[in-house]
Amino acid sequence: MSKTQQAPGGVRSKGLADYLNDENVRAVIYQIIAIGLVILAGWYLVSNTLDNLERQNISTGYGFLNLEASFGISESMIDYTPRSSYATALMVGLLNTVKVAFLGIVLCTIIGTIFGVARLSSNWIVRKLATVYVETFRNIPVLLQLFFWYAIIPGAFPAARNALQPLPDVLLTNRGMYIPVPVADNAYDFMGIAAILAFVVIYFVKKWAAKRLDATGQPFPIFWASVGILVGFVLIAYIAGGAPTEMDIPELKGFNIRGGYNISPEFMSVLIGLTIYTSTYVAEVVRSGIQAVPNGQWEAADSLGLKRSVSLRKIILPQSMRVAIPPLTNQYLNLTKNSSLAVAVGYPDLVSVSNTTMNQTGQAIEAISIYMAVYLGLSLITSLFMNWFNKKMALVER
């Protein structure tokens, strides 16, 4: 924070020295120097790079994205074969990143909140156990944890022939977990549409409930009503669609398991590692959020005769949310960024696919620029969403 404008001293004509001593003139000079240095450095780097690329006969540009990728990707949420283009391959990687990050965020929030609350429990042993959990997993590098889970998970389960069956039709093998999934049917599309419709209806019911609460003071069980609407809509769509019951059940055929949905050991280790590691940070955020709520709020709740669990849920947590959301956003971003470590255990995330692309095409700059831009974009979207949420929560106060 530098000084702002200073009154020009006196009326005498200024010499060069006076100009150089003028704050504003200096500021301009500093900025010109700074920009000049940046441009110079940029020009130096770019010209070197262009020279090097020319010498190595590497063409620049994103044209390679339309070429055939000709490498396999072990898991994909969209149709992908080695004949697909690099652009499709990168899309697969991006979707895999989003999948693991999204599930990780959901899980680490749940687990982190549980442990954060447990660290404040009046129960001594619960408190200590939660502390041990948080301190242990927080102080071990996340990459080491990923390696650990990746070493343990395939090793802990038998080969496909002797697959474990913890639940009917769920198979555990060293190639991951296989779960049954419904065979594709039109009814499921209807159900998706019905779910979207249900959310629209819920939105209007919520508005109506708030209006009624203002007008009559009568509360409306909005949570259970929403659940009811959602379940009802989806169920009706399911029955209307012919109620398909056919399932794709994983079965041992030859030396391998066919059918079902495969959750790979790579995915599992990345998800477990990221979730556990980030949940310790979330726990600390939740704990400090709760501690930031003044004690008087607990006492007020007590004096209203509320149970501890009710006061925690209805009075303390909503208030602590406001304190917790900004650091929570940071943790979500960290988890998303850390999902790039998936490359170390062979989960085909964006970075992993980009690296393969980079090795095959030599388009290092393009590949790196793509994933950097994507992560920047993801970070930006997450912070925008969380800022919006933050504002919404802050308004609740008054």
Partner 1 sequence: MATSTQLPPGPNGSVGQRAVIWVRRNLFNSWFNSILTILAIAFVVWIVPPIFEWAVLNATLTPTIEACRETTGACWGFVNANLRLILFGVYPFDQQWRPLLAMIILIGIIVASLAGVRYPRLQKLILPMWIVGIPAIAILMWGGMLGLTYVQNSSWGGLPLTLILSTIGIVFAFPLGLLLALGRQSNMPAIKTLSVVYIEVIRGVPLITVLFMASVMFPLFLPDGVSIDKLLRAQIGIILFTAAYLAEVFRGGLQAVPRGQFEAGDSLGLSYWQSMRLIILPQALRLVIPPTVNSFISMFKDTTLVVIIGLFDLLGAVKLALRSDPAWTRYYVEGYVFAAAIFFLICYSMGRYSAYLEKELRKGERR
Give the interface with partner 1 as residue ranges (CB under 8 A). 1-4, 27, 30-31, 34-35, 38, 45, 48-49, 51-53, 55, 120-127, 129, 135-136, 138-144, 147-148, 151-152, 290-291, 293, 295, 298, 308-309, 316, 333, 337-338, 340-341, 343-344, 351, 355, 358, 364-365, 368, 371-372, 375-376, 379-380
Toward partner 1, which CB reaches closer, 31 or 387?
Answer: 31
- How far is the C-alpha of 394 from the C-alpha of 318, rounded, in Å? 10
List CB contacts of 77: < 8 A, sequence separation 6 or more: 92, 95, 96, 99
Give the residues across from 261 on adjacent strands: 179
Toward partner 1, which CB reaches closer, 207 or 307?
Answer: 307
Please give the structure tokens belonging to residue 332.
Answer: 């979500």
Contact in structure between 104 and 339 (CB atoms under 8 Å): yes
> CA–CA distance from 253 to each of 46, 249, 250, 265 (Å)?
56, 12, 9, 20
Toward partner 1, which CB reaches closer, 264 or 354?
Answer: 354
Contact in structure between 160 and 175 (CB atoms under 8 Å): yes
Toward partner 1, which CB reaches closer, 85 or 355?
Answer: 355
**To the nearest whole angstrom, how small is the minimum distance from the Cβ of residue 128 to partner 1?**
9
- How far is the C-alpha of 314 from the C-alpha of 324, rounded, in Å? 16
Contact in structure between 331 and 381 (CB atoms under 8 Å): no
Rama region for 148: left / alpha / beta (φ>0; ψ in -120 to 50; rest): alpha
**To the nearest whole angstrom, how small is the minimum distance from the Cβ of residue 92 to partner 1?**
18
Number of H helices, E strands in the chain: 13, 8
Toward partner 1, which CB reaches closer, 3 or 12?
Answer: 3
Please give the structure tokens belonging to residue 178.
Answer: 């296989």
Toward partner 1, which CB reaches closer, 115 or 233?
Answer: 115
**To the nearest whole angstrom, how small is the minimum distance from the Cβ of residue 52 to partner 1?**
5
Toward partner 1, which CB reaches closer, 115 or 178?
Answer: 115
**To the nearest whole angstrom, how small is the minimum distance from the Cβ of residue 198 to partner 1?**
34
**To the nearest whole angstrom, how small is the minimum distance from the Cβ of residue 320 to partner 1?**
11
**To the nearest whole angstrom, how small is the minimum distance from the Cβ of residue 166 to partner 1?**
17
**To the nearest whole angstrom, how small is the minimum distance from the Cβ of residue 197 to partner 1?**
36
- How far is the C-alpha of 253 from the C-alpha of 270, rounded, in Å? 28
**To the nearest whole angstrom, how small is the minimum distance from the Cβ of residue 135 to partner 1?**
6
Closest-CA residue to 204 (of 234, 226, 227): 226
**To the nearest whole angstrom, how small is the minimum distance from the Cβ of residue 148 to partner 1?**
5
CB neighbours (10 Å) of residue 86? 27
> CA–CA distance from 117 to each of 134, 167, 282 (Å)?
12, 31, 11
Please give the structure tokens belonging to residue 325.
Answer: 């959301």
Toward partner 1, which CB reaches closer, 140 or 209?
Answer: 140
Toward partner 1, which CB reaches closer, 57 or 122?
Answer: 122
Among positive and negative, which fits the CA dihedral 206, 207, 208, 209?
positive
**To the nearest whole angstrom, how small is the minimum distance from the Cβ of residue 230 to partner 1?**
30
- Write b or e for each residue in 308-344: b if 16 or more Cβ atoms lie within 10 A of its Cβ, otherwise e: eeebbeebbbebbbbbbbebbbebbbbbbebbbbbbe
> CA–CA distance from 63 to each of 85, 93, 196, 307 (Å)?
11, 19, 38, 64
Toward partner 1, which CB reaches closer, 237 or 333?
Answer: 333
Toward partner 1, which CB reaches closer, 127 or 322?
Answer: 127
**To the nearest whole angstrom, how small is the minimum distance from the Cβ of residue 182 to partner 1?**
35
